[in-house]
Amino acid sequence: MFSEKELNLEEHQLREQIRRLSPAEKAIYDALEIPRLKLASTYVRLNWLFPLGVHHFYLRRWGRGLLDLFLTLNICLSLTRFSPWGDPNLLISAMMCLALLSIELPQMLNARLLVHSRNILMMTKCLQSARRRALRNQAGSSR
């Protein structure tokens, strides 16, 4: 995985690059960055709803969110008479609960680092996009 120290160093280097942007590039960067950054506190709160995968949807990790939702629905179904495996099955439900917990426990424990890492990735993409757009704008205005 990644450590907080590594993430902080990477973010510091990225912020140095952002500081060196021209005013036009900085304006583009700010417009791109602000809606894309996520709050760690919101992600941590949403983690408590982990069986539904809401925290993954918040970070736009659709596959992980759908997996959580699928496992939760199957756990609920396997405990009822609507079980796809016939009669309600406690063993299957317990195995799916363990699978869900084994997937989600590391997510809960590393929530702040996951959000920090995702935000750094978004900042990097925004920086690259701002530079490209500024170059296109310069090329378009020089014609």
pLDDT tens by residue, 11-39: 999 999 999 999 989 999 999 998 999 99
For residue 62, give every residue at least 6 positions away whose Cβ sits within 8 Å of its Cβ, in sequence order, or none.
Answer: 56
Q: Quick check: 60 pLDDT over 70?
A: yes
pLDDT at 77 (0 to 100):
80
DSSP strands (E only) in the chain: none
The model's pTM is: 0.80
Tokens (6 digits) for 70: 């699928």
Q: Is 38 exposed, middle or buried (0-12, 13-18, 19+ CB in 10 A)?
A: middle
Q: Measured between alpha carbons, how far is 33 from 118 in angstroms, rounded to an integer?
A: 12
